[in-house]
Amino acid sequence: MSSTEKLTIKKKELETLLKRFEFLEYGGKGSHKVWGHPQYADIHIVIATHSKEVPQYQIRQIEKSLTKRGIL
């Protein structure tokens, strides 16, 4: 993928992907859900429930965090 291409992912698709990587939903506050992994206590992913697509910056942050820990 080139730097000009934008990856779009829907909130439900991200949640499905997180479940496949054994992440658990730990609740949240208001219109946000908090996801974490039982083996990696320092990873907390907050997803807004009021939008259909996940913002680009958040996709990059999640990818960087998972790659750093060898999950991806």
CATH of domain 11-68: 3.30.920.30
Q: Burial level of 54, CB count in 10 A (0-12/13-18/19+)?
A: buried
pLDDT in tens, 36-72: 999 988 888 888 888 788 888 888 888 888 898 888 7
Say how far apart CA 55 and CA 67 lie, in whole Å: 19
Q: How sure is the predictor about 20, in pLDDT bands with cuts at 50, 70 and 90?
A: very high
Q: 72 with 63: CB under 8 angstroms?
A: yes
Max Cα separation, the chain?
A: 36
**pTM for the structure as a whole:** 0.77
Identity of the amino acid at 41: A
Domain ranges in the chain are 11-68
Question: Radius of gyration (Cα) for the chain, nearest Å?
Answer: 12
